[in-house]
Amino acid sequence: MARIEPRLLKGFRDYLPEVMIPRVRMLRKIGEVFERFGFEPLDTPAIEYADILMGKLGPEAEKLFYRFKDNGDRDVALRYELTVSLARVVAQYGTDLPRPFKRYQMGPVWRAEAPSVERGRFREFWQCDVDIVGTTSLMADAECLAIDNAVMQAVGVTNFVIRFNNRKLFRGLQQKLGLANDALMADVMRSVDKLDKIERAGVEKELAALVGVSEAQRNTVLEFLDLAKFQGSNSERISRLAQFLAGTTDGEKGCAELSEVLQNAQRMGVPDQHVSADATIVRGLDYYTGTVFETTLTDAPHFGSVMSGGRYDGLVGLFSGKDEPAVGISVGIDRLVTALGELKLLKSGKASAQVLVTVFDEGSTQYSLRIASELRSAGINAELYLDTPAKLGKQLKYAERKEIPFVVVAGPDEAASGEATLKNMLAKSQSRMTVDALAAAISSG
């Protein structure tokens, strides 16, 4: 058989242990946060019928779908994100699920977009979602902010901002502008969404290029932008926006919802310095109907949003035939891992084991096995060196290469006295102690 060249598709990658270990640790921390808020795990297939996924995310997103015919000539697609599959589950299992239904899901999604390793963008990447289905209560929206804050704290981020908005403000702005053309208003929103990238002058230039938007309407949009970026408290910013959109039904309602979400988030312990009511946040997905969220790292803004989401009260109804309210927020794991690595906030590691138990010789094997077993029973991740004829120097080099912090040496002398030598590979020190004392010494570092 001819040799096959080992290679990867562009935008995909292998996750070697030094990459997987910090990822798994982060996923565990995030999962603990989700469960602390009362969410249960759910999993769904990577592949769905294409009609399940298509037509919900907008034309730009659907250009990036991996869509194909399977061996049964069925029209299928890889999931682009996790929310549409959730909507299908809720509709399919109906009354079998409690309301509100609070679920979290962690898994890979696929998008055929231009990859960027530097920005943590890949064609296959993981998302971690929490969603609340079956309640219109804005406490659910506020809980998403609280979860966002708790996740950032859990992974060691202290400098971050959760920006949130309500899509009803844009409908209110459309009413104030008197724009009946929804497609034209979508173009206006896309320009507004670029404010942080192209600044006010760039937005003004894009608006001027839109056929059908008058100078007076452009000035109204720019006034809206200035209020959205008003350098005051969140409450004051929302109040000024409410005054600006007074007389528009959706605008007034959106501002009232923004205020309620903010108050509830504050009561849930989200610090003011970590939240910002920002009326320029649009979010690209077509199914958002109310609150939307985006989280950026203050010290690494070039990574964009690392946690985002919003309220989507109409999505489940596409499957069930009746509207069902829902809101959720998602962590972009690959982007967050890449950002935290750049910020030196990610604890690296090449080994799951805290300690390597060496095997001195054939006669000491039983003693080494006993030590490894007792350490594991004490909750210590202990790896036993399996190549018994190997010299001790080779075993120490193995621990060094894997960056295992401790090594237990248990030879005939130690076995005779019921002791072992514990080597600290980082401090380059060692001490002899009883086997019973090993677990406490390793745990204390």
79-126 pLDDT tens trace: 999 999 999 999 999 999 999 999 999 999 999 988 887 776 889 999
The string of pLDDT tens digits covering residues 392-411 is: 999 999 999 999 999 999 99
Residue 62: per-residue pLDDT? 86
Q: Is it the case that residue 445 has pLDDT exceeding 90?
A: no
- Closest by CA position to 26, among listed 357, 341, 400: 341
- Closest by CA position to 173, among listed 260, 249, 100: 249
Q: Which CATH class is domain 355-443?
A: alpha beta
Q: Check: CB of residue 414 under 8 Å from CB of residue 432.
A: yes
Average pLDDT of the chain is 94
CA distances in angstroms from 229 to 16, 216, 226, listed in the order given:
43, 20, 5
Q: How far apart are CA 270 and CA 275, in angstroms?
A: 8
pLDDT band at 389 (very low <50, low <70, confident <90, very high): confident
Q: Give domain limits for the chain.
A: 17-342, 355-443
Residue 117: per-residue pLDDT? 77
Average pLDDT over residues 9-20: 92
Q: How far apart are CA 376 and CA 253, in angstroms?
A: 57
CATH topology of domain 17-342: BirA Bifunctional Protein; domain 2 (3.30.930)
- Closest by CA position to 101, among listed 116, 86, 85, 84: 86
The string of pLDDT tens digits covering residues 65-77 is: 999 999 999 999 9
Residue 407: per-residue pLDDT? 98
Decide: helix, strand or coil at residue 59.
helix
pTM of the model as a whole? 0.91
The string of pLDDT tens digits covering residues 166-199 is: 999 999 999 999 999 999 999 999 999 999 899 9
Residue 92: per-residue pLDDT? 96
Q: What is the dihedral of CA 260, 263, 267, 270, to 10 degrees?
A: 110
Q: Check: CB of residue 397 under 8 Å from CB of residue 376.
A: no
Q: Is it the case that residue 290 has pLDDT exceeding 90?
A: yes
Q: How far apart are CA 67 and CA 54, in angstroms?
A: 10
The string of pLDDT tens digits covering residues 220-265 is: 999 999 999 999 999 999 999 999 999 999 999 999 999 999 999 9
Residue 59: per-residue pLDDT? 82
Average pLDDT over residues 273-282: 96
The string of pLDDT tens digits covering residues 159-174 is: 999 999 999 999 999 9
The string of pLDDT tens digits covering residues 111-124 is: 998 888 777 688 99
pLDDT band at 362 (very low <50, low <70, confident <90, very high): confident
Residue 283: per-residue pLDDT? 87
Residue 20: per-residue pLDDT? 93
Q: Is it the case that residue 285 has pLDDT exceeding 80?
A: no
Residue 58: per-residue pLDDT? 80
Provide the token pair at 160: 């971050």
Residue 172: per-residue pLDDT? 97
Residue 99: per-residue pLDDT? 96
What is the sign of the dihedral through the CA atoms of 301, 303, 304 and 308? negative
CA distances in angstroms from 2 to 5, 7, 394, 413, listed in the order given:
10, 15, 36, 54
